[in-house]
Amino acid sequence: MRFVTPSEQQDAASRAVEELLGEFAAHLRQLGRSEHTVRNYLADLRSVFGAIGPKDAFDLSAIDRAAVRKWLMGMRMQRRSPATIGRRLAALRALFRWALSKGRIQEAPPLDGLSPGRYHRLPKFLSQTEAAAMLDEQTPETPANLRDLAILELLYATGLRVSELAGLDVEDAENGRVLRVIGKGDKERIVLMGKAARETVAAYLKHGRPRLKPRQDERALFLNRQGGRLTDRSIRRMVDAAAKGHTNFAHVGPHALRHSFATHLLENGADLRTVQELLGHESLSSTQVYTHVTRDHLKEVYRSAHPRAKLGKKGPQQK
């Protein structure tokens, strides 16, 4: 009888995990989940299984509530953000539901009541002055510059997710004033464009995109230097470079511009329901985080605008 080494046992366990995740990924695609969403689910689940999965064999049914609680405690001790923990916990719950429906396990561990904890970190966003300075400093001298300016203006003017922007085709922007966007869950929504965004997109379509030499039958709105669709990663790098010198943040990504879009709308009088629709949030609770980031701004407006807010503790001076 051949002796199986610990390394071989671990390799077998890893193959079992990947086989399970491959089937789960196929299920997510059948539900219409985007490739971006599928990749995130798999990355989160690999992280969980790397922490709580057995090293010599893999058996999903062996993962119980106690193991998940121990994993949660470890994540908190590592000071992982509640958002990250919550996302991974949600992915694990989804996997258990699918595995139960397919007969891969006889029962799912009871995970009710397990929580990542409170999420206090506020979203990163640029001030209105910082956003304006970043956009005004761009010099659209080359086709790539025209493209980058159009991307920056669109992200700030519409609050698009980076995956939504990268997925835009030329026909989605041909209306001029609105964009047809495919968001989370392959749900379509119409997004409004302001004057600056309309003008920069029109300039890019006329003078930039044709000179980037799109591949035959390529319908992507934003192209790379090879004439193919620009990737999420390339857009993130470009946004980070464009924001340098305009903010104190070490790094700024497309999502910071989405947060800036929502925050600045609320600061200038938009109501929460409108912002929810423009962001494509299914639940208002996802949008309510922005009420916190605008609170300091509202206090400043109140102190500067309300006549009684300026009074000292002793009240108005007597004549």
User: Whose CA is closest to 253, among 132, 147, 141, 163?
Assistant: 163
- What is the Cα–Cα distance from 209 to 214, expressed in whole angstroms? 7
Both tokens of 104, joined, read: 């891969």
Q: Which of 41, 156, 204, 290 is catalytic?
A: 290
Q: How far is CA 277 from the centre of its chain?
A: 16
- What is the Cα–Cα distance from 49 to 88, expressed in whole angstroms? 10
User: Whose CA is closest to 156, among 206, 202, 191?
Assistant: 191
Packing angle of the helix pair 6-30, 82-101 (nearest 10 deg): 80
Q: Tell me if residue 65 is catalytic.
A: no
- What is the Cα–Cα distance from 31 to 255, expressed in whole angstroms? 25
CA-to-CA separations, 235 to 104, 164, 304, in angstroms, rounded: 40, 12, 39
Q: Tell me if residue 258 is catalytic.
A: yes
User: Whose CA is closest to 131, among 281, 268, 314?
Assistant: 268
Both tokens of 147, joined, read: 């493209």
- What is the Cα–Cα distance from 296 to 287, expressed in whole angstroms? 17
Q: Which of 65, 93, 124, 255 is catalytic?
A: 255
Where in 77-236 does DSSP place strands (E)? 178-182, 188-192
Residue 212 sits at φ, ψ, to 5 deg, of -85, 0
Q: Tell me if residue 246 is catalytic.
A: no
Q: Which of 33, 88, 161, 264 is catalytic?
A: 161
Q: Tell me if residue 184 is catalytic.
A: yes
Q: Which of 88, 229, 258, 259 is catalytic?
A: 258
- What is the Cα–Cα distance from 182 to 279, expressed in whole angstroms? 12
Q: Which of 27, 80, 93, 281 is catalytic?
A: 281
User: Whose CA is closest to 131, among 247, 238, 301?
Assistant: 247
Q: Tell me if residue 259 is catalytic.
A: no
User: Whose CA is closest to 167, among 208, 235, 222, 205?
Assistant: 222
Q: Which amino acid is at 11?
A: D
Q: Which of 93, 184, 236, 297 is catalytic?
A: 184
Active-site amino acid positions: 161, 184, 255, 258, 281, 290
